Amino acid sequence: MKNQLLAALPPEEYSRLAPYMEVVSLELRQELYLPNQPIEHVYFLNYGVASMLTVMMDGSAIEVATVGNEGMVGLPVFLGADKIPGECFIQVAGSGLRMRADAFKTHVTVGSSLYQIVQRYIQALFNQIAQSAACNRLHSIEQRMCRWLLMTLDRVETDTFSLTQEFLSIMLGVNRSTVSLNASILQKAGLINYSRGQMTILDRLALEDITCECYLVVRAEFERLLNNN
49 vs 63: CA distance, rounded Å: 12
- CATH 2.60.120.10 intervals, the chain: 4-110
91 vs 94: CA distance, rounded Å: 9
pLDDT at 1: 59
User: Mean pLDDT per segment of 10 residues, for the chain of length 229 residues?
Assistant: 90 95 95 95 95 86 89 95 93 94 94 93 92 89 92 87 83 84 92 90 94 92 79
Angle between helices 113-138 and 214-226 (to 10 degrees): 170
User: Kind of pairing, strands 87-100 and 41-55?
Assistant: antiparallel
pLDDT at 123: 92
Burial (CB < 10 A; 0-12, 13-18, 19+), residue 206, is middle
Quick one: fold of 136-221? Arc Repressor Mutant, subunit A (1.10.10)
- CATH 1.10.10.10 intervals, the chain: 136-221
Superfamily grouping for domain 4-110: Jelly Rolls (2.60.120.10)
User: Kind of pairing, strands 160-162 and 192-195?
Assistant: unpaired
Of 139, 136, 146, 161, nearest in space to 64 by CA: 136
pLDDT at 228: 66
Rounded to two decimals, what is the model's pTM?
0.90
pLDDT at 42: 98
pLDDT at 180: 86
Of 83, 72, 154, nearest in space to 118 by CA: 72
